[in-house]
Amino acid sequence: MKLKPIVAAVAVVASFSSFAETQLTVVNFGGANGNAQKKAYFEPYEKSSGNKVVGVEYNGEQAKIKAMVEAKKVSWDVVEVESPDVTRGCDEGLFEKLDYSKIGNKADFAPAAIHECGIGTFVWSTVMAYNADKLKTAPTTWADFWDIKKFPGKRAMRKGARYNVEFALMADGVAVQDVYKVLMTKEGAERAFKKLTELKPNIQWWEAGAQPPQFLVAGDVVMTTAYNGRIDAAQREGKNLQITWTGGIYDLDFWVIPKGTPNKDAALKYISLASSADAQAEYAKNISYGPTNTKALAKLDAKVLGKLPTSAANAKTALQFNVTFWADQGEALEKRFAAWAAQ
């Protein structure tokens, strides 16, 4: 008689473990990016593995991952994070170290995509965008973005120091390759804020990625900074929004595995599929973010390639987001920005 409860308990545990194997929780930033991932990654993974993918949307809150890892109750298996968070989370011991032998050949990826705790999954860009139905002359530089006489009206910018201080220096005549050199100095930061102050009366702030295209369509602003994928999504809906690629800031998003997930093997299989050339090419067809697997580019036609941040023409004048600089000085700049914005 005593054995029965144990046998029953074993049966329950067995059914739980098989349930755990069939459900993988993948966390991303939602929107057009989430939809593209569903088509390119979720569906093929479900088909090939027999496992179910549960998609969760978040806004990049590292605190949620930290709380799970510290409580040893990890319910997220694969998470998309922004570049500054890969290194920070890795240093804090929040992510598993990746076994690349189970993912793919490191040589197939852009060097910036390789990290001990994460693998870059796409390249995206913060760019200047405008509504071509309302603005007949296209702005071509960040100096144009600041030129209220030539282009009267409001501008929208993301509320924060990140990207804006770089754009301000470019508008003030700093060459792309010198932006971070200048910004690292006290005088450079001073110069950036002085330039932002010039534009301040004409700025409408945005906080969510969906807002810039909405502002442009409504005619609230004449131009805006925006994520290139959001403008691409609006174009697919028939909106005549256009991108000026000059001085865009490109960056990567990464896949990480929170430390202590019970589904680590399944998570690695998912990341392996999502890092393959075929899957990344499919993703890029659904949203204009550039593949990190360089072999994916050969699978894309000229029209798709022309809209990617990684295309030769678009990348020519681009600035790579400097993760190290923002890890060192970001906190101080964001505090300064908050005080400046509140004045």
pTM of the model: 0.83
For residue 225, the model assigns a pLDDT of 98
Percent of the chain with pLDDT over 70: 94
What percentage of the chain reaches a pLDDT higher than 90?
86
- Cα–Cα distance, 187 to 206 (Å, whole number): 27
Residue 127 Cα distances to 255, 303, 342, angstroms:
23, 19, 25
- pLDDT at position 12: 44
For the chain, the domains span: 3-123+252-315, 125-250+316-342
Mean pLDDT of 87-102: 95
At 309 the pLDDT is: 94
Query: Residue 24, Cβ neighbours under 10 Å: how many?
Result: 24
How much is the pLDDT for 32? Answer: 87
The two most distant CA atoms of the chain are separated, in Å, by: 89
Q: How do residues 177-223 score in pLDDT, each as one tens digit?
A: 999 999 999 999 999 999 999 999 999 999 988 999 999 999 999 99
- Domain 125-250+316-342, second-level architecture: 3-Layer(aba) Sandwich (3.40)
Confidence of residue 158 (pLDDT cuts 50, 70, 90): very high
More confident: 149 or 12: 149
Mean pLDDT of 137-164: 97
The per-residue pLDDT for range 6-39, each reduced to its tens digit, is 444 444 444 444 444 569 999 999 888 999 999 9
CATH number 3.40.190.10 given to 3-123+252-315: yes
CA end-to-end distance (rounded Å), the chain: 76
Q: Do domains 3-123+252-315 and 125-250+316-342 have the same CATH topology?
A: yes
Give the mean model confidence (pLDDT) for residues 128-145.
96
Task: Please indicate whether residue 7 or residue 48 has the higher confidence score (pLDDT).
Answer: 48
The whole-chain average pLDDT of the chain stands at 92
Number of H helices and E strands in the chain, helices first, is 16, 11
Mean pLDDT, residues 90-115: 96
pLDDT for position 61: 87
Q: Span 310-336, mean pLDDT?
A: 91
Q: Are 170 and 163 in contact (CB under 8 A)?
A: no
- List, for residues 78-90, the tens digit of each pLDDT value: 999 999 899 889 9
pLDDT at 59: 84
